[in-house]
Structure 1
Amino acid sequence: MAFKSGMLSKRIFRSGQLVLVEGMYGDLWGDWLPLMQGDTFPQHPEMGDTKWTYSGPLGTRLPLPRWSGSERGRGW
């Protein structure tokens, strides 16, 4: 089954579903995981069931963190 990247990036997966396409996936809590076809979307360790979205193929870099204005001058 072939999926287009644009279709995958709009689709939301839930914890417990099977991964159809390998790639980088992000959850609602800001975690990013490389998942392989046939894996199961995991639960968040503290928050339980969560939703996952496709970020791109496995060669994709992790997205840059989102900084609020108060964190920019701290040097980390």
Structure 2
Amino acid sequence: MRIVVDLNRCQGYAQCVFLAHEVFRLRGEEALSYEPNPDGARRLQVRRAAAACPVQAIVIERLEGTDRGAAP
């Protein structure tokens, strides 16, 4: 999976940080940083974090050949 965050849209609510702190981090009070290619073990956390974003700034893309056999 690959994560893309629209940092122009992100408002720093940090719901993603609470739900997937291994992938999303706040630098300072509002600057979000993230791991764009987390391992498959974090899939559910990342999906929940994307769904919880109040401004829908997180997009999850499936990488061809890497998610075989995994639940969407």
Range class of TM-score, shorter chain: under 0.3
State TM-score, norm by structure 1. Answer: 0.24
State TM-score, norm by structure 2. Answer: 0.25
Q: Which structure has the higher relative contact order (CA within 8 Å, separation 6+)?
A: 2
